[in-house]
Amino acid sequence: MALYSEKVMDHFRNPRNVGIIEDADGIGEVGNAKCGDIMKMYLKIRDGIIQDVKFETFGCGSAIASSSMATELIKGKPVSEAMTLTNKAVAEALDGLPDYKMHCSVLAEEAIQSALEDWRRKTGEAAPEAE
Ligand code: FES
């Protein structure tokens, strides 16, 4: 069996939503101390909806595929839904990651949560009830 699913390879080779949002409403940057990989997420939020999301990842292929898939999963969705996105859901959407690469998907979850936290800080928005 191939080590990586076709979806992982596809999102690694053709990552969606790469880049920065100049006037982002929320920015989150997280890193993994062990491998040194860094992920940055930019969110554009209007009326409680994630209108746009972009990312920059300086890291391994699994981290790039995870960030790409995570942006696809939250784009156009309510903030309340983005808040509940887990690394497990990202990995599942990628048709799985090898066990020793699961930590790479954690970066995607953390980067999104950190960007949402930044948005809340800037806007004074209360955390919406998770559905
Ligand atoms: Fe560092 Fe994948 S090895 S995030």
Supply the CATH number for residue 16's domain.
3.90.1010.10
pLDDT of residue 2: 81
What is the set of active-site residues?
35, 104
How far, in Å, from the CA of 32 to the mean position of ligand 1?
A: 7
**In total, how many domains does the chain have?**
1
pLDDT at 79: 97
Tell me, yes or no, whether 1 lies in a domain.
no
In a 13 Å sphere around the CA of 81, the CA atoms on its Cβ side amount to 14
> How much is the pLDDT for 127?
66
* pLDDT tens for the chain, residues 1 to 131: 589 999 999 999 999 999 999 999 999 999 999 999 999 999 999 999 999 999 999 999 999 999 999 999 999 999 999 999 999 999 999 999 999 999 999 999 999 999 999 999 999 876 665 55
In a domain, 97, yes or no: yes
Please give the residue range of the domain that contains residue 64: 6-123
Most informative mutation of 60, 87, 106 for ligand 1 (most atoms within 8 A of CB): 60
- 80 is a domain residue: yes
Beta-carbon contacts of 56 under 8 Å, excluding residues fewer than 6 positions away, are 18, 19, 20, 39, 40
Residues paired with residue 50 on neighbouring β-strands, in sequence order? 45
Cα separation, 90 vs 96, whole angstroms? 9
Q: Which positions ≥6 away from 17 have C-beta within 8 Å?
A: 53, 54, 55, 68, 71, 72, 75
Looking at the domain assignment, is residue 128 inside a domain?
no
Q: Is residue 115 part of a domain?
A: yes
Nearest-CA residue for ligand 1 atom 4 is 104
Would you say residue 90 lies in a domain? yes
DSSP designation for 129: P
Pick the atom of ligand 1 nearest to 39's CA.
4
Answer whether residue 130 is part of any domain. Answer: no
Q: What is the pLDDT of residue 125?
A: 74
